[in-house]
Amino acid sequence: MPQTLHIPCPHCHAANRVPAERLGERPNCGRCKSPLFTGHPVDLDAASFDKHLAHSDLPLVVDFWAPWCGPCRTMAPVFAQAAAQFEPRIRLAKVDTKAVPGLAARFSIRSIPTLIAFRDGREIARQSGALDGASLQRWLRSLG
């Protein structure tokens, strides 16, 4: 029996079961039929964040940012490029701390941008400050 992974849809946030060996075949959501992997970071609010955190077998890396933050805007294209490179092995997502301040408080975000990596619903790594492309790739590879 193949290993099955649980992957929330980036569009409707429904949980999907996907055989691990089929991740590279561009699977679609069983509910909304949209692609499960778009090559772009997923924008999350409080409710969708909890769904992705609780129902994903993939590592989740979240960029906590704000629209007024210059370093956040500088890092945004680098983060987007990493999403295209690391999917489907890692899900990259963004949380706007201005729009969802409760999540920033929940995870004690003191400076932005801050990246937090989660696995199995638990924080496994944190990185504060903007990263260039090479540094971000190194950090993402270090997550295993």
Task: Measure CA 141 to chain center.
Answer: 14
Tens-place pLDDT, residues 62-97: 999 999 999 999 999 999 999 999 999 999 999 999
| Domain ranges, ordered by start, for the chain | 39-142
What class has domain 39-142? alpha beta
Q: What is the pTM for the complete model shown?
A: 0.95
In this prediction, residue 34 carries a pLDDT of 98
Known catalytic residues are: 69, 72
> What Å distances lie between residue 22 and 85, 109, 144, CA to CA?
17, 36, 20
In the prediction, which pLDDT does 144 show? Answer: 74
Extract the residue ranges of the chain whose pLDDT is less than 70.
Answer: 1-2
Q: Are 107 and 116 in contact (CB under 8 A)?
A: yes
Specify the pLDDT at position 1. 40
